[in-house]
Amino acid sequence: QKEVEQNSGPLSVPEGAIASLNCTYSDRVSQSFFWYRQYSGKSPELIMSIYSNGDKEDGRFTAQLNKASQYVSLLIRDSQPSDSATYLCAVDPGTGRRALTFGSGTRLQVQP
């Protein structure tokens, strides 16, 4: 069973701090990795995608990928209360199935 693991949280950080969200995956052939943000009662919103080892930055968000360690993370700088949501890590298994495997999500709480 191919798995994507996330700490369910909640991860609580003060406003203005850096939030660090982590994800590990079991399938070594995985090629594409995504972070989605989901507010309660809403649908998932794509915030980052990453395909190569290293860092990818987009505004306050940085995705980090280490394929050797099978680890992908999301850093949120200058966290705001509006960042409070569940963050889902999703992995494309790289089999051509076009089917994402989702982690169970990490709930982030940013305290004002």
Partner 1 sequence: DTEVTQTPKHLVMGMTNKKSLKCEQHMGHRAMYWYKQKAKKPPELMFVYSYEKLSINESVPSRFSPECPNSSLLNLHLHALQPEDSALYLCASSQATGTGGYEQYFGPGTRLTVT
- Closer residue to partner 1, CB minimum distance, 12 or 15: 12
CB of 81 to partner 1, least distance (A): 21
CB of 97 to partner 1, least distance (A): 6
Kindly provide the b/e burial profile for residues 43-68, where b requires at least 16 CB atoms within 10 angstroms of the residue's own CB. Answer: ebeebbebeeeeeeeeeebbbbbebe
Q: Tell me the CA distances in angstroms from 72 to 40, 56, 110, one per residue in order.
A: 24, 11, 21
CB of 79 to partner 1, least distance (A): 22
- Closer residue to partner 1, CB minimum distance, 12 or 14: 12
Q: Is-cis flag, bond preceding 10, omega within 30?
A: yes
- Closer residue to partner 1, CB minimum distance, 25 or 103: 103
Nearest Cα residue to 29 out of 74, 90, 96:
96
CB of 105 to partner 1, least distance (A): 6
Q: Which residues bind partner 1 (CB under 8 A)?
A: 31-32, 34, 36, 42-46, 49, 51, 88, 90, 92, 97-100, 102-105
- Closer residue to partner 1, CB minimum distance, 22 or 32: 32
Nearest Cα residue to 59 out of 45, 77, 74:
77
